[in-house]
């Protein structure tokens, strides 16, 4: 295709995930707020601060959905530019679901932002072409996580930053218990009421459970060739930021 990404229809996981997001794209933002009690906004603020977008940078937000992270990056880069000058940043939102991209365009972008349909496992970008790569609540849905990490490494310039914000493992037993009750019982029910789609939210909860915990995922990022990989737990490890450097 013109974007140069592979046929992503192969594989059951891909079809399932796409079905989930097709059915929820419109009520997606509301569901995020309900599921996390609004806390996902604070997690996203923390992740954006960690990425530290700078003027003149090319920032790629993969599985960018409706552009939540990209809007933050654009505003932060522009604020820094107003303080100390420099070129405009470029923030690319990439998502393989055109419905999410369209919902994001409808919400409105920032001047730095461009929208692209493409696959995390075969990024339609040249080697060493971006300063920062981010993926927020997206990587656990990708059919081949190692392949997505390899692609992240490929498109980053030397010295570039990798950032992943994702659900992870609560660090204490008590919190894990409360969280299990909330996610296994409440989230599918809320998904049924709000999005009329209990099964999709059941699938989301299970995908969180299957995703590797902090240390395992850190090791995967290191295996992909990133250096100085660090983990920051958010809300006691309900979510985590993984950050690394392409050296
Ligand atoms: N990053 C946004 C956020 O934090 O609000 C959206 C997260 S949403 C839970 C997950 C997104 O990942 C969906 O928009 C979905 O289309 C996208 N996605 C899943 N697998 C993908 C892949 N292989 N390549 C690109 N996007 C993918």
pLDDT one-digit tens code per residue, 158-173? 999 999 999 999 999 9
- Residue-wise pLDDT tens digits, 222-236: 999 999 999 999 999
**Could you tell me the two tokens for 213?**
């915990």
Higher pLDDT, 25 or 235: 235
Pocket test for ligand 1, best of 31, 92, 141, 205 (most atoms within 8 A of CB): 141
Tell me the binding residues for S-adenosyl-L-methionine.
66, 95, 119-120, 136
In three-state secondary structure terms, 59 is strand
Average pLDDT of 110-115? 97
- Arithmetic mean of pLDDT over the chain: 89
174 alpha carbon – ligand 1 mean position (Å): 30
Residue 247 CA to its chain's centroid (Å): 22
Average pLDDT of 29-56? 89
CB contact at 8 A, 74 and 82: no
DSSP string, 68-85: HHHHHHHHHHHHHHHHH-
HEC string for 109-126? CCCCEEEEECECCECCCC
165 alpha carbon – ligand 1 mean position (Å): 12
In three-state secondary structure terms, 120 is coil
168 alpha carbon – ligand 1 mean position (Å): 16
In three-state secondary structure terms, 179 is helix
Name the residue with tokens 């993984």: 242
Average pLDDT of 103-112? 90
Name the residue with tokens 């339609």: 124
Pairing relationship of beta strands 156-167 and 239-246 according to DSSP bridges? antiparallel
Half-sphere exposure of 11 (CA within 13 A, CB side): 11
Contacts of 11 (CB under 8 A, 6+ apart): 143
Cα Rg, the chain, nearest whole Å:
17
Average pLDDT of 137-155? 97
What pLDDT, on a 0 to 100 scale, did the predictor assign at position 18?
57
What pLDDT, on a 0 to 100 scale, did the predictor assign at position 219?
98
Q: Per-residue pLDDT for 60 more than 80?
A: yes
In the DSSP assignment, the letter for residue 166 is E
Indicate the helix (H) or strand (E) that contains 209.
helix 198-210
What pLDDT, on a 0 to 100 scale, did the predictor assign at position 154?
98
The Cα 223–Cα 136 span in angstroms is 20
The angle, 0 to 180 degrees and rounded to 10, between the axes of the packed helices 12-24 and 98-107 is 30
Name the phi and psi angles at 228, rounded to 5: 45, 50
What pLDDT, on a 0 to 100 scale, did the predictor assign at position 203?
86
What pLDDT, on a 0 to 100 scale, did the predictor assign at position 6?
37
Q: Using alpha carbons, list the distances in angstroms from residue 123 to 37, 40, 140, 155.
A: 33, 26, 17, 8
Average pLDDT of 72-81? 98
Residues in the ligand 1 pocket, defined by CB under 6 Å: 17, 21, 63-65, 68-69, 95-97, 100, 119-121, 136-138, 141-142
Q: Per-residue pLDDT for 218 more than 60?
A: yes
The ipTM of this complex is: 0.99
84 alpha carbon – ligand 1 mean position (Å): 33
Pocket test for ligand 1, best of 28, 45, 65, 203 (most atoms within 8 A of CB): 65
Higher pLDDT, 79 or 192: 79
Sign of torsion over alpha carbons 77, 40, 231, 150: negative
What pLDDT, on a 0 to 100 scale, did the predictor assign at position 197?
82
Q: Which of 98-112, 137-151, 190-204 has the highest mean pLDDT?
A: 137-151
Give the residue, by CA position, lying nearest to ligand 1 atom 10.
138
**CATH top class, domain 12-22+38-171+213-246:** alpha beta
**Could you tell me the two tokens for 28?**
């997606």
């Amino acid at each position: 295709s013109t974007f140069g990404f592979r046929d992503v229809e192969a594989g059951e996981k891909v079809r399932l995930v796409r079905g989930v997001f097709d059915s929820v794209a419109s009520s997606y933002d509301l569901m995020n707020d309900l599921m996390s009690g609004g806390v996902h906004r604070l997690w996203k603020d923390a992740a954006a601060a960690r990425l530290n977008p700078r003027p003149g940078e090319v920032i790629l937000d993969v599985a960018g959905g409706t552009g939540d992270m990209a809007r933050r990056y654009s505003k932060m880069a522009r604020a820094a530019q107003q303080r100390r000058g420099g070129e405009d940043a470029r923030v690319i939102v990439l998502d393989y679901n055109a419905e999410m991209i369209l919902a994001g365009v409808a919400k409105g972008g920032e001047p730095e932002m461009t929208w692209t349909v493409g696959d995390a496992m075969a990024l339609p970008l040249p080697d060493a072409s971006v300063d920062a790569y981010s993926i927020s609540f997206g990587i656990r849905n990708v059919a081949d996580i190692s392949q997505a990490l390899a692609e992240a490494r490929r498109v980053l310039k030397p010295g570039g930053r990798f950032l992943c914000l994702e659900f992870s493992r609560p660090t204490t037993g008590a919190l894990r218990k409360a969280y299990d009750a909330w996610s296994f019982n409440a989230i599918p029910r809320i998904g049924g009421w709000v999005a009329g789609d209990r099964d999709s939210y059941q699938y989301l909860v299970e995908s969180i459970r299957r995703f590797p915990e902090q240390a395992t995922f850190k090791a995967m990022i290191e295996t992909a060739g990133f250096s100085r990989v660090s983990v920051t737990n958010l809300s006691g490890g309900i979510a985590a930021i993984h950050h690394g450097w392409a050296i």
